[in-house]
Every structure is written in C-alpha cells, then in structure tokens.
Amino acid sequence: MTKRAGRRGLWTAAVLAAGLGALALVAPPLTPGTIKSAPVTVITTTTPPAPVVPLTPEELSAQVVPTIVTITAPAGFTTTAGTGIVLSPDGVVLTNHHVISGASDVTAVSMSNGLIYDAEILGYDSVSDLAVLRLAGATDLPVAVVGKSAEATRGDAVTAIGNAEGGGVPVPAPGVITNLGVTVNTRNVSDGSRNQLKGLIEVDADIRPGDSGGPLVNAVGELIGVSSAGNAVTDRTETSPAPQSYAIPIDTALPIVEQVLGGRSSETVRVGPTPVLGVAVKDHAEMPAGAEVVAVSFDSPAERVGLTKGAVITEFGGSRIASSADLNAAMSSRRPGDTVAVTWVDATGQPGTGSLVLDEGPPR
C-alpha cells in the first residue's frame, strides 16, 4: 500500500483518463415439596464482550483491498476511473452511478487476483448515485464485511480506500466521522452534471477523484459507506480547507442493491439495459403542458418519428405527459426494443403523432 501524496476540488469522486454486560433477571426453579414463598430474584451479570480492537493500517488494508475492484468506464472521448465494492463471490459489485454514467462499456480489475473482467451494468439509481455491476465469469472473489452505518457515530475512526486519481493502485485515506445525515450538492468532474445527495456520512478523510464507489470502513474493517464526493484540491497547503468528504451510508445502499438484483425497476431505479428516446427535454412553461424538446440526437428514435426542437411531448405510451419528470417516469418502465406511441405539438403549434422503437444506450 502506498500513502497518499500531498496532491489532492465539492466533486463526485470519479476521475477522468468503515459495551456493558447485560443484566439478567433469573428466578430459581421450584423443587418438589417446596412451598412457594415470596419470589426470589437472583441478579447475575453476563460476561462483558471482548473489547473491539481496531485493526492496524496494515491489517485493515490486508482485509479490505482484496474486496475492491478498480473500474474503467469509457464514455465518448473521455474515460472515467473509479472503484467498486465486491458484495458476492460471483462478482456482484456496488459502485457510484456517476462512475459508469454514459459508459459504452465497463471493465474492472480485481485487487484479489489481478484479473480484468468485463462488467455488466445490472441496474442503477442516478438520484441516489448508486450502480450495481456483475463481473462476467467471476468466481470465489473475497467479499466485503458489511457493517451497519446506523451504528456509526461522530468521532469514529474510518478509512476510505480506492483508486485515487485513477492510478490503479488502492490508496487508504484515514480520518474520522465529523457529521451524519448531511445533504450536499455535488458536481461530476467528468461531465459537469450536478446532483443533490442526502443523508450522507461526512468524514475528514482526504477522498479524491477515483475513490468514487469505494468502501468507507470502520476501525475493524466493516463496510459502512460508499465514498461519493469530496473537496479535493490540486495542491493542499496550510491555507487549504481541511479535507471534507462524503459517503453514502451502506444501510441506504443495500436496499437499492436488493431492488436491482430482484429485477424491480421504479421511477429512480433502472434495472437492465437503458432505453434511449434521443431527446433532451425541459418543462414547457406555457400551454400545452408537457416535456419540451430542446435537442434531438441524430438518427435517434425521436428524430426518426419526426420530433424536432421546440416540440412539446404531451403523451408517451398512453401516459399523459405534463413535465419532463413525467417523461422520465414513463421511460423508467420501458426497455430497449419497446414500441411506444408518442403525441406532441410542434414549435409551430401543429399536432403530431407517431410510433417509435426505443434504442439501447449507455446508462444515464
């Protein structure tokens, strides 16, 4: 393991190229012939649990590093590098949505065996910034020891480990929890897109681009969060702000993993391949209410059916469309290859209708 250098701007962490013994009240049994008198209570004390012994940095790395993968996700003219957490021996991996957003294909390198795997995108939730992958052909991979983020408290020692700066070598970033339940607005360094994430774990660990999707573990190496954002700076000096980074609690992430593995799409969770209509839309401020087309992709289903810039989509697949959110919700239940009827009003006020077949595209 190598230590982090002094080079480290709030971004999402993808880069371009972690008691007292109980009291038992026990009543003695009655033996034959015993006259029951006033109840007798015997107070006994269970043996206190062994104290939790934090792992050394070397022990923690030895436990956690084999359970992660480094991820490479080409998207157009750029390539995003990130990290993933292995959740099953056959290669189910949890990472951030922004790591794989727009990717034409995804590969991952296991830190346990050094093998390169093609990664299938099983599903994702762009709002929660989570994605679930499966590594093709993977077997017998070490898996993360999952803890409970609900048990985390301020001041707890934590460590983030990930593909910092996309170097392909896992680097640990130790720190402590400084706050819980935090809401932040993030910016993806690869495409400039913004998102609001809620309920996050705030830490003072120096999480950097490339760490996205990697594990945040507690002092005994248990997974309690998914590293997602931070205030990394290029050159950290004495006048630079203190490291301030954020992770999605694992208690929040696992239900989304289970939903994806269960094949249950919803308004925010996409399961399986991503369907493409081929338009960018915004809410239409005037009548008719609908999703106004602001751009149409070349040779897309939208262009082929006759949609043009300025058109307002008012119906999609039989559903009334009153906003861009309505169109996104209608798309969430669709799959590539579906045939969908569309109704719109063009920029000149003329009505239009048609039937199109959705293409398959990268995750968005």
Write out the chain's pLDDT in tens, 364 residues: 544 544 444 666 565 543 333 333 333 333 333 334 445 545 555 566 666 789 999 999 999 999 999 999 988 788 889 999 999 999 999 999 999 988 888 999 999 999 999 999 999 998 899 999 999 999 999 999 999 999 999 999 999 999 987 888 999 999 999 999 999 887 665 555 677 899 999 999 988 889 999 999 999 999 999 999 887 555 555 666 677 899 999 999 999 999 999 999 888 888 888 888 988 888 887 888 899 999 998 889 999 999 999 999 999 988 899 988 888 888 877 888 999 999 999 989 999 999 999 988 888 7
User: Ramachandran region of residue 187, left (φ > 0), alpha (ψ -120 to 50) or beta?
Assistant: beta
- Selecting among 129, 156, 206, 326, the annotated active-site residue is 129
**355/267 Cα distance (integer angstroms):** 23
Widest distance between CA atoms in the chain: 100
User: Ramachandran region of residue 268, left (φ > 0), alpha (ψ -120 to 50) or beta?
Assistant: alpha
The per-residue DSSP string of 346-364 comes to -TTS-EEEEEEEPEEE---
Whether residue 30 lies inside any domain: the answer is: no
- Selecting among 128, 212, 245, 300, the annotated active-site residue is 212
Whether residue 246 lies inside any domain: the answer is: yes
Q: Which of 102, 135, 168 is the last residue before a domain boundary?
A: 135
In degrees, rounded to 5, the angle at the alpha carbon of residue 158 between the alpha carbons of residues 157 and 163 is: 155
- Selecting among 97, 98, 211, 300, the annotated active-site residue is 98
**269/267 Cα distance (integer angstroms):** 6
Q: What is the pLDDT of residue 3?
A: 47
Q: How far is CA 348 from CA 75, 308, 353, in A?
A: 36, 11, 15
Whether residue 25 lies inside any domain: the answer is: no
Q: What is the pLDDT of residue 47?
A: 60
Shared domain for 245 and 279, answered yes or no, is no
Whether residue 313 lies inside any domain: the answer is: yes
**103/96 Cα distance (integer angstroms):** 13
Shared domain for 166 and 225, answered yes or no, is yes
What is the number of other CB atoms lying within 10 angstroms of the CB of residue 288? 15
Whether residue 159 lies inside any domain: the answer is: yes
Shared domain for 157 and 202, answered yes or no, is yes
Shared domain for 64 and 94, answered yes or no, is yes
Q: What is the pLDDT of residue 139?
A: 96
Residue whose tokens read 């401020």: 285
Phi, psi dihedral angles at 39 (to 5 degrees): -60, 140
Q: Which of 135, 168, 183 is the last residue before a domain boundary?
A: 135
CATH assignment of the domain containing 105: 2.40.10.10
- Give the residue from 122, 113, 119, 115 showing the smallest Cα distance to 135: 119
187-209: buried (b, 16+ CB within 10 Å) or exposed (e) per residue?
bbbbeeeebebeebbbbbbbbbb
How many domains is the chain built from?
Answer: 3
Query: What pTM, to 2 d.p., does this model score?
Result: 0.78
* Catalytic residue flag (residue 105): no
Q: What is the pLDDT of residue 24?
A: 36
Shared domain for 287 and 357, answered yes or no, is yes
Shared domain for 279 and 220, answered yes or no, is no
CATH assignment of the domain containing 332: 2.30.42.10
**Residues β-bridged to residue 202:** 179, 246
Whether residue 86 lies inside any domain: the answer is: yes
Q: 155: which residues sit within 8 A by CB, 6+ positions away? A: 176, 177
**169/4 Cα distance (integer angstroms):** 11
* Catalytic residue flag (residue 284): no
Q: What is the pLDDT of residue 143?
A: 97
- Give the residue from 79, 69, 77, 128 showing the smallest Cα distance to 100: 79
Whether residue 247 lies inside any domain: the answer is: yes
Q: Which of 107, 135, 163 is the last residue before a domain boundary?
A: 135
CB 125 within 8 A of CB 97: yes
Q: How far is CA 332 from CA 138, 277, 335, in A?
A: 29, 12, 8
Structure tokens at 231: 């205030």
Shared domain for 284 and 322, answered yes or no, is yes
Range of the domain at 114: 57-135
Q: 206: which residues sit within 8 A by CB, 6+ positions away? A: 4, 8, 173, 175, 230, 232, 236, 243, 245
Shared domain for 192 and 115, answered yes or no, is no
Shared domain for 210 and 280, answered yes or no, is no
**166/179 Cα distance (integer angstroms):** 27
Phi, psi dihedral angles at 63 (to 5 degrees): -80, -40
Shared domain for 162 and 238, answered yes or no, is yes
Whether residue 31 lies inside any domain: the answer is: no
Residue whose tokens read 């679930």: 132
Shared domain for 158 and 193, answered yes or no, is yes
Shared domain for 117 and 206, answered yes or no, is no
Count how many residues are written for the chain.
Answer: 364
Residue whose tokens read 């954002």: 229
* Catalytic residue flag (residue 235): no
How deeply is 51 buried, as exposed, middle or buried, from its count of CB atoms within 10 A (0-12, 13-18, 19+)?
A: exposed
Q: 166: which residues sit within 8 A by CB, 6+ positions away? A: 15, 16, 17, 81, 209, 210
